[in-house]
Amino acid sequence: MGLSVSIKKKVNGFILDARWEIGDELAVLFGYSGSGKSLTLQLIAGLMKPNHGSIGLNGKTLFDSESGSNLAPQERSFGYVIQNLALFPHMTVHENILYGAHGLSRTERDQRAGVIIDRFQLAGLEKKYPAEISGGQKQRVALARALIRRPAALLLDEPFSALDNPLRVEMQNFLKEIHREFPIPIVFVTHDVFEAFAIADKIIVYVNGKIAQIGTPAEVFTRPANSDVELLVRTRNRLLQSVESAQYDATYE
């Protein structure tokens, strides 16, 4: 069970060749911008078609080049949040969340919306418009909309990149809380080394369209598989060494 990906895609001379699988864990696709992370999400979601390979979710085939299977995006059970969140400015918070519940009965939509609004700390904001709420509240609305249909997996493409650091940390912690309540595969794209280390159960490192390393944060950051991965994690490791050195000096002053 879980999400399995084995895909090849050529786009404007760039070649993506990615193979990995995850269970009900929070996996971070980590690497420089342009390394194929967001393209992978689009292929998983069905917004683009791989040239070759297969994609499976909980034992169900979503795409397979050999058999010709290729489910439409609306037939794939994913919640999907992109960088700009794509909230509708003319819709209220309540309406934006309900938009994610297409296909459910009115009674079920209203019931789920009430539960998820409370859980996502949005009570009292139901009639407000996106322009009237804070950045963190917008993030929670986008996540609530993605999860209201109880998808089998969640795809997040740098959803916190526009937030300042304190709010970003708050949303990272909130995401980990939500994952405990919704134990489904979550794929989170980032090129931020600190964010990757902070939230991941598993890190999948992308370098130039290929997978350079897969492992826990501790494995990737302490035992990088090659010089490309070492360069990616160097910033975080240098800062950690500086902090530890400062703490040591303060102890023995």
Q: Given a cut of 80, is residue 249 above it in pLDDT?
A: no
Residue 21 has pLDDT above 70, yes or no: yes
203-208 mean pLDDT: 97
Average pLDDT over residues 160-178: 90
Residue 236 has pLDDT above 80, yes or no: no
Tokens matching residue 89: 């400015």
Q: Is the pLDDT of residue 19 over 80?
A: yes
Residues 65-113: pLDDT tens digits? Answer: 999 999 999 999 999 998 877 889 999 999 999 998 888 888 898 899 9
Q: Quick check: 248 pLDDT over 60? A: no
Which residue, 85, 82, 84, 100, is CA-closest to 189?
Answer: 82
What stretches of the chain adopt beta strand conformation (E)? Answer: 3-11, 14-22, 26-30, 52-57, 60-64, 69-70, 78-81, 153-157, 186-190, 202-207, 210-215
Using 50, 70 and 90 to split pLDDT, how confident is the model at 245? very low
Angle at 184 between CA 147 and CA 161, to 5 degrees: 65
Question: If we measure between CA atoms, which residue out of 134, 155, 143 comes closest to residue 40?
Answer: 155
Interatomic CA distance for residues 213 and 144, integer angstroms: 32
How many angstroms separate the CA atoms of 198 and 193, rounded? 9
Of 63-72, 76-85, 161-170, 228-237, which has the strongest mean pLDDT?
63-72
For 136, list phi and psi in degrees, rounded to 5.
Answer: -65, -40
- The predicted structure's pLDDT at residue 235: 65
pLDDT over 60 at 138, yes or no:
yes
Domain locations in the chain as residue ranges? 87-150
Over residues 115-132, the mean pLDDT reads 93
| Rounded-to-integer distance, Cα 17 and Cα 9, Å | 7
CB atoms within 10 A of CB 193: 17
How does the average pLDDT of the chain come out, rounded? 90
How much is the pLDDT for 47?
A: 96
- The answer to whether residue 27 scores a pLDDT higher than 90 is yes
Q: What is the mean pLDDT of residues 204-218?
A: 96
